[in-house]
Amino acid sequence: MPTFSLSGIKLSLPKLLLTESIRRMLEKGWYEVEERKALEAHLRSGDRVLELGGGAGFLAAFSAQFVGASQVTTVEANPKMLAVLQKNLADNDCSLVNVRHGVVLGKTTEKETSFHVPEAFWAASQDTSAMDSSWLSVSVPTLSFDALLGEEQPTVLVVDVEGSEASYFFLDLPECLRLIVIELHPQKYSPHAIRALFNRLDRQSFIFQPLGSHGTVVCFERL
């Protein structure tokens, strides 16, 4: 299994999941680099981190270096990535990271939903607009965004959910939450959806924070 090193984190990925674009990002140290820089700029000792979209486990392991593994929860929807995620956490002495499986939805009454898995694991999504015949559709558990925040009580929220972020942040956020790092996906929704998301956060006293923001990765800090 090919293994890569990024910012002191060892990541292994099965060859079946390692597309050329993913390999190149890992070899050059570009994989999730903007999210890493955002966390590096803002994480504090004592933070509790909730990550939506755990992927290969890089950001969860990176966060654990700052706050301790037991202070990190990561949620991953893609069932093909769960064993990979857990192995990478174990290989980086982060077995105490809490790993949860499910699609995080802004609103849901269903216990399960369809999730679509392409060859490139980082593009797995509920969105069907870019699907082709090579994608696998699976049924996975659902998690309510608001209920999850209530259960985990994070101080830092990291969101990379391939467009589902546009349906979040309607209800009151927990008072403990001080920082939100989001990877936007403007190819999946209109500029009006981005404005609406910013407005919802603004109404809850979260302002855009230039420090740590770059490109589609944006930080919001509570005033």
Per-residue pLDDT of the chain (223 residues; tens, 9 = 90+): 899 999 999 999 988 888 888 999 999 999 999 999 999 999 999 999 999 999 999 999 999 999 999 999 999 999 989 999 999 999 999 999 999 999 999 977 789 998 887 666 655 666 555 555 556 788 899 999 999 999 999 999 999 998 999 999 999 999 999 999 999 999 999 999 999 999 999 999 999 999 999 999 999 999 9
The whole-number pLDDT of residue 177 equals 98
How many other C-beta atoms are found inside a 10 Å radius of the C-beta of residue 164? 22
The pLDDT of residue 126 is: 64
Rounded CA gap, 87 and 57, in Å? Answer: 9
- What architecture is domain 32-222? 3-Layer(aba) Sandwich (3.40)
In order, the DSSP letters of 104-172 are EESS---SEEEEEE-SSGGG-BS--TT--TT-EEEEEEEEEHHHHHHHH--SEEEE--TTGGGG---SP
